[in-house]
Amino acid sequence: MPGRRSIVLAVVLTLLTLGTGGSAVLVALHRHGGHHSATAPHRPVLASVLPTPTGTVVEVNGAPVPTVGTTTVAAALSTAGVTVRSGRYLAVVSHRPLGSDGNPARVLVDGQPAGLSSPVVGGEHISVRAGADEVEPTETVNVVLPPAVRSPLYVGSRDGLARLVRGKISHERVSEHLIRRPRTGHLVRPGAVALTFDDGPNPRYTPMVLRLLHRAHVRATFCMIGAQAAAHPATVRQVAAAGHELCDHTWDHDLALRSRPAGQIQLDIARGRHAIIHAMRGKEAPLFFRAPGGNWSTRMERDARKMGMTPLKWTVDPRDWSRPGVHAILRTVYAELRPGGVILMHDGGGDRSETVAALRVLLHRLPKLGYHFVLPPVERLRHHH
């Protein structure tokens, strides 16, 4: 119809590769005057990739963005298939994407900053510049290198130390410098293994364990909970009188102790130690310390050493406390035990009849397999009085 104006919207998308990998996309919306022709040929969406001195230009023609009066930046970009992408961190070695690096995309309407909800009308130009990707920052850290065999029964063992440069997010290694080689040391005796018993003393099961050890001429280490030692001081003295070592297992066996405040950690360790000393009428103090559940921390080890106790870890855990059955206990010990092994068992904390039955078999069987029962060596520490 004469005098009737039609609005035709065309979209031109231009992608420019810039600098560090950022890209620019230009979406142009403009009015086109003239008469609508029913016979005008339909132009398909065409895409061409053209190399340029600065990167690649992507040009899309004939892909109009339909609008009725007013639309938004987000709607226009969605129809044009343009994604607004923030920058990403790339792993320092593999360059795999890690997540947002904080470099946001920029959206401009006719050269002015705009948000995705900003309104646009025909004839306006939208440009989107993706956030620049960046290689993640690096950090330099010292890491501990454990010896090939880590066991309390090795004398002269020492951790190694290495300095790493690594990705701060991915932890991919860029370089590694060896500061000190780890040292395994030597076993206190060929075939040496140690028996340890936790969560006692128990007036019923601890004497049963003591009788079996006495008959086999074996000495062991008893890691006692302070509250239990305070409740059964005579059993504590019975253990010591039989030549076994005493070990502080904290006052109340708090499995989350390593996450407690520093003062609470120190108090729980000290209170357990004091309970054992009190049960021994001041004549003997525990030489070892064991963290509840084996949940160690550097602070706990340091506090124990300050109190004159050697941290005592285990290498074999048959989970006898869960009462899995005598055969299951034995099967785990046979599968995991090696020279230098420290076996964890329990003489307290519940029904320990399965532990007693399994111990009877182990005391008979392990020497025939070439193992020798020993007490763990004590570190040279300053003891508190």
Distance CA 236, CA 221 (A): 12
Number of H helices, E strands in the chain: 8, 24
Cα 298–Cα 169–Cα 171 angle in degrees, nearest 5: 65
Cβ atoms 35, 13 nearer than 8 A? no
Q: What's the start-to-end Cα distance of the chain, in Å? A: 108
Cβ atoms 46, 61 nearer than 8 A? yes
Cβ atoms 229, 281 nearer than 8 A? no
Write the secondary structure of 107-122 as one string of H (helix), E (strand) and C (coil): EEECCEECCCCCEECC
What residues are labeled active site? 198, 346
Distance CA 242, CA 244 (A): 6
Residue 280 gets which letter from DSSP?
T
Q: Which residue has the tokens 């895409």?
A: 47
Q: Are strands 154-155 and 186-187 parallel, antiparallel or unpaired?
A: antiparallel
